[in-house]
C-alpha cells in the first residue's frame, strides 16, 4: 500500500511526505514543479513529474505503485493572485482537481484527503470557528476550495470513495530536522516575511492594518506548526484506512495571535528589533480567524506537540538561514 501525494514538492506536502516516510509508509509524489522544489522531496519517495489533470498518468501511477490513498496538496494558494487572476485559480484548483478525482475513482482508490482552508468560513461568523460555522468564502481562492469540498461530498455519495477535508488555519514553521520549510522567495505569509526581514533579506516587514477591531489593532490568526498539521494528515489517513466515514476537520490550535505578537516573538527569538512599516489593510483580509479544533482532537485523537509561537518562529528562521545559505 502506497500513498500518492500530489504537490509533495510544496511546503505542506513535503512535510507530510516526511511524516509518512518517518513512520514507514510508502509514498509516491506527483508534482509538476511549477512552484514546488524537487530538492525538498525526500529521496525515499518515488517521484513523478507531471500534471494532476493527466488522467492516464494518474491511473498508471496508481496501478504501478499499488496506491490505496491520495493526499491532494497540489494547487494555487496566494489569495491576492486569485483575485487578480481568478480563472487560473478555477483551472488549477477546481478543473484540474476534478480530473484528478475522476482518475482516482476510475483507478479504484477509495481514500482521499484534501487540503482545504479556514477561509471557507464567512468573515462575520462567530469565533472560534467550528466546522459547521457559516460558510462565506470571499476570495476566488477560498471559493475554489469550498467547491472542491462540495465536489468531494457529491463524488463520495455516488462512488465508493471516502474523504477527509482538512481546513488549514495559518500554517507556519519548518521541519525540526531542517529537511524542509517554506521556500518560495515571493512568499506572502507573515511568519515567512518576518523571518526574511529579520535576516535582512527584505528591508522591513509591512504591517497590513493597525485599525482592526482586535486587541492591538492588527490582524489575528491561529498559527499552526506545519509538523502538527502533518500529524493531522496521518491521523486522517489512518481513520480512512480503518473505515471511517467522510468528514471535515479544522486544523489550528484554537489560539489567536496578532501580527504584533508575531513580531514580538521574532524579536524575542532573534534578540533584535525587527524593522517594520505600518501600512493600510491588505484587501480581502478578515480581522480574525481562530479555529475550534475540538473535533480534530476528540475524533482523530490529535495532540499537537509544537503549539508554541516562539518554536514556530525559531524553526522558520532556521529554515530561512539554511535555505538561503
118 binds ligand UD1 (CB under 6 A): yes
Instruction: Provide the 3-class DSSP secondary structure of residue 63.
Output: helix
Query: In angstroms, rounded to a whole number, what is the distance separating the alpha carbons of residues 111 and 79?
Result: 28
Residue 72, phi-psi category: left (phi > 0), alpha (psi -120 to 50), beta (remainder): beta
Residue among 205 and 266 whose Cβ is closer to ligand UD1: 205
- Which triple of cell numbers denotes residue 31? 508534482
133-152 binders of ligand UD1 (CB under 6 A): 139
Q: Shortest approach of ligand UD1 to residue 95 CB, angstroms?
A: 20
11 binds ligand UD1 (CB under 6 A): no
Among the listed residues 141, 168, 249, 253, the single catalytic one is: 141
Residues of 153-164 as b/e, b for ≥16 C-beta within 10 angstroms?
Answer: eebbeeeebbbb
85-104 binders of ligand UD1 (CB under 6 A): none
Stretch that binds ligand UD1, among 34-42, 129-137, 157-165, 204-212 (CB under 6 A): 204-212
Residue among 112 and 168 whose Cβ is closer to ligand UD1: 168
Active site residue 141: yes
What is the DSSP track for 95-155?
Answer: IHHHHHHHHHHHTT--EEEEEEEGGGB-TTSPSSBPTTSPB---SHHHHHHHHHHHHHHHH
* Closest residue to ligand UD1 in the complex (CB): 219
Residue among 49 and 216 whose Cβ is closer to ligand UD1: 216
Stretch that binds ligand UD1, among 19-27, 64-72, 76-84, 238-246 (CB under 6 A): 76-84
The residue count for binding ligand UD1 (CB under 6 A) is 26
What is the distance of C-alpha 38 from the center of its chain?
18
205-224 binders of ligand UD1 (CB under 6 A): 205-209, 219, 221
Residue among 72 and 162 whose Cβ is closer to ligand UD1: 72
CA atoms within 13 A on the CB side of 321: 10
Residue among 7 and 109 whose Cβ is closer to ligand UD1: 7
What is the DSSP track for 208-265?
Answer: E-S-SSSTTSS-EE-EEEHHHHHHHHHHHHHHHHTTPPPEEEEES-S--EEHHHHHHH
295 binds ligand UD1 (CB under 6 A): no
Query: In angstroms, rounded to a whole number, what is the distance separating the alpha carbons of residues 54 and 63?
Result: 14
Residues that bind ligand UD1 (CB under 6 A): 77-79, 117-119, 139, 168, 170, 188-190, 193, 205-209, 219, 221, 259, 282, 284-286, 289
* Active site amino acids: 141
Amino acid at each position: 500500500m502506497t500513498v500518492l501525494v500530489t504537490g509533495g514538492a510544496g511546503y505542506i506536502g513535503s512535510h507530510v511526505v516526511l511524516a509518512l516516510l518517518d513512520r514507514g509508509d510508502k509514498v509516491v509524489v506527483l508534482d509538476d514543479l511549477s512552484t514546488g522544489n524537487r530538492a525538498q522531496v525526500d529521496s525515499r519517495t518515488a517521484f513523478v513529474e507531471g500534471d494532476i489533470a493527466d488522467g492516464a498518468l494518474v491511473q498508471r501511477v496508481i496501478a504501478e505503485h499499488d496506491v490505496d490513498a491520495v493526499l491532494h496538496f497540489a494547487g494555487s494558494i496566494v489569495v491576492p493572485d486569485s483575485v487578480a487572476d481568478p480563472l487560473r485559480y478555477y483551472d488549477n484548483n477546481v478543473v484540474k482537481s476534478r480530473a484528478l478525482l475522476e482518475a482516482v475513482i476510475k483507478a479504484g482508490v477509495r481514500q482521499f484527503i484534501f487540503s482545504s482552508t479556514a477561509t471557507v468560513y464567512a468573515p462575520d461568523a462567530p469565533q472560534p470557528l467550528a466546522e459547521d460555522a457559516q460558510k462565506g468564502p470571499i476570495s476566488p481562492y477560498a471559493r475554489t476550495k469550498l467547491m472542491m469540498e462540495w465536489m468531494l461530498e457529491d463524488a463520495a455519495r455516488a462512488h465508493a470513495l471516502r474523504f477527509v477535508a482538512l481546513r488549514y488555519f495559518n500554517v507556519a514553521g519548518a521541519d525540526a530536522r531542517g529537511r524542509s520549510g517554506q521556500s518560495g522567495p515571493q512568499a506572502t505569509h507573515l511568519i515567512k516575511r518576518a523571518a526574511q526581514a529579520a535576516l535582512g533579506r527584505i528591508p522591513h516587514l509591512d504591517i497590513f492594518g493597525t485599525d482592526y477591531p482586535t486587541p492591538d489593532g492588527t490582524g489575528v490568526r491561529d498559527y499552526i506548526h506545519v509538523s502538527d498539521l502533518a500529524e493531522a494528515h496521518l491521523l486522517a489517513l489512518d481513520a480512512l484506512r480503518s473505515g471511517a466515514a467522510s468528514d471535515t476537520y479544522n486544523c489550528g490550535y484554537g489560539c489567536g495571535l496578532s501580527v504584533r505578537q508575531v513580531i514580538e516573538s521574532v524579536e524575542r527569538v532573534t534578540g533584535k528589533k525587527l524593522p517594520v512599516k505600518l501600512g493600510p489593510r491588505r484587501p480581502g483580509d478578515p480581522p480574525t480567524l481562530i479555529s475550534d479544533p475540538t473535533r480534530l482532537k476528540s475524533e482523530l485523537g490529535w495532540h499537537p506537540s509544537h503549539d508554541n509561537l516562539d518554536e514556530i518562529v525559531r524553526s522558520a528562521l532556521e529554515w530561512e538561514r539554511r535555505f538561503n545559505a
